[in-house]
């Protein structure tokens, strides 16, 4: 098992499959990575892209969007193709009724890459996006070069009590009172005023963007469907813990903020113990959004991981052997994870 660090070091990227992305650079970060759209099964999926080089697929959290990755994309685009989609029900993507499970999101990401003529990618997932990344690697290991979990969901039962409350019956009827449109109209000028004067912090701004998105009725409905697919009133209802041993031959990086109040740091240590040869980096002084709160430090850690690891190559024989062997601590796993269903 790799040593636990508190920060990474700057480094240069490694080689790999290259994908070209064309487009002029604009004045601001969000204009530099404008939202594009692609149709998947008749639904419009928004995404941002940039750079050229080995492909990084960047997956956001619940109530988030591709915008959360813009600071990191700015720092990575010189050496990598950076792709940040909006999940169905989020950001600029369609918000239809239907399946908002991890498995469906993972399948959509497979189709997304296929439509862009990209065979494989390093998959980087934050929060809910981390759960989708795990599911993607489980369903489509041949398409996954490396895994990066950033304060990821799906690694334990514990989660912030506010998220548990939102999964209660009839919560969707209370949410319009909790997320009124006038708060959005009042809060946006305040956020711009404070941001323009260097007041506030990136983590709070990210949480405001998530809150703001829930003032729209379609976003609220999609949010509740997504939440109930992975969380119940008792906590996270989906766990990947019993299958993490299957990533034994997949280079895996775990990044966590030591001040995360959404998903506890203990989950990072559990995952590090469960994933052979994984690397854990705990960033001091940040919360649930390391890639936003400390993008330079986050990218240094990510670059070092990419430089010092080789993309995984699926060996069906090795996968079969792992499945036959199972986890070494299956009895412990069964008792620990019996509280909720598995991926």
Q: What pLDDT score does 203 carry?
A: 63
Q: What pLDDT score does 209 carry?
A: 64
pLDDT tens column, 307-341:
999 999 888 888 888 888 887 655 444 444 433 43
| Chain mean pLDDT for the chain | 81
Contact 267, 155 (CB under 8 A): yes
Among 65, 127, 237, 239, the active-site one is: 127
Contact 254, 168 (CB under 8 A): no
User: Who has greater pLDDT, 126 or 324?
Assistant: 126
pLDDT tens column, 197-251:
343 467 666 665 656 666 677 777 888 888 888 888 898 888 888 889 888 899 9
**Which of 17-21, 167-171, 214-218, 278-282 has maximum average pLDDT?**
278-282
Work out the percent of the chain whose per-residue pLDDT is above 70: 73
Among 105, 260, 272, 278, the active-site one is: 260
Confidence of residue 166 (pLDDT cuts 50, 70, 90): confident
Q: What pLDDT score does 79 carry?
A: 97
Confidence of residue 181 (pLDDT cuts 50, 70, 90): low
Among 101, 288, 291, 304, the active-site one is: 288
Q: What pLDDT score does 331 carry?
A: 42
| Measured CA distances, 165 to 61, 97, 162 (Å) | 18, 22, 5
Nearest to 314, CA basis, from 147, 141, 146: 141
User: Who has greater pLDDT, 181 or 83?
Assistant: 83
Q: Burial-class residue 205 by CB neighbours within 10 Å (0-12, 13-18, 19+).
A: middle
pLDDT tens column, 21-76:
333 333 345 678 999 999 999 999 999 999 999 999 999 998 899 999 999 999 99
Q: The pTM is what?
A: 0.81
Beta-sheet pairing, 231-232 with 235-236: antiparallel
Tell me whether residue 119 is one of the annotated catalytic residues.
no
Tell me whether residue 127 is one of the annotated catalytic residues.
yes
């Amino acid at each position: 098992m790799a040593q636990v660090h508190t920060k990474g070091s700057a480094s240069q990227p490694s080689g790999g499959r290259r994908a070209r992305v064309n487009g002029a650079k604009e004045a601001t970060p969000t204009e530099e990575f404008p939202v594009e759209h692609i149709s998947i099964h008749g639904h419009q999926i928004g995404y941002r892209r940039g750079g050229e080089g080995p492909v990084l697929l960047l997956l956001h959290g619940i109530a988030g969007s591709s915008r959360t990755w813009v600071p990191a994309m700015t720092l990575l685009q010189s050496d990598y193709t950076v792709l940040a989609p909006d999940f169905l029900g989020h950001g600029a993507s369609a918000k239809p009724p239907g399946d908002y499970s991890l498995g469906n999101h993972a399948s959509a990401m497979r189709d997304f890459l296929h439509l862009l003529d990209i065979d494989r990618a390093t998959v980087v997932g934050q929060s809910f996006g981390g759960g989708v990344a795990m599911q993607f690697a489980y369903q489509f290991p041949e398409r996954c070069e490396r895994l990066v979990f950033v304060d990821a969901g799906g690694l334990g039962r514990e989660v912030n009590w506010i998220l548990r409350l939102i999964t209660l019956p009839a919560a969707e009827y209370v949410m319009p009172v909790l997320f009124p449109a006038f708060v959005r109209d009042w809060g946006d000028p305040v956020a711009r005023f404070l941001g323009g004067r260097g007041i506030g912090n990136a983590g709070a701004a990210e949480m405001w963007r998530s809150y703001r998105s829930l003032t729209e009725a379609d976003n609220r409905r999609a949010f509740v469907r997504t939440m109930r697919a992975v969380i119940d009133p008792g906590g996270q209802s989906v766990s990947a813990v019993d299958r993490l041993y299957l990533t034994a031959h997949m280079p895996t990086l775990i990044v966590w903020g030591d001040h995360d109040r959404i998903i506890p740091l203990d989950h990072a240590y559990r995952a590090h113990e469960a994933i052979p040869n994984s690397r854990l980096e705990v960033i001091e002084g940040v919360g649930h959004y390391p890639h936003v709160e400390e993008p330079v430090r986050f990218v240094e850690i990510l670059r070092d991981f990419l430089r010092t690891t080789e993309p995984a190559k699926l060996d069906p024989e090795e996968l079969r052997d792992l499945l036959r062997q199972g986890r070494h601590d299956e009895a412990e796993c069964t008792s620990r994870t019996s509280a909720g269903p598995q991926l």
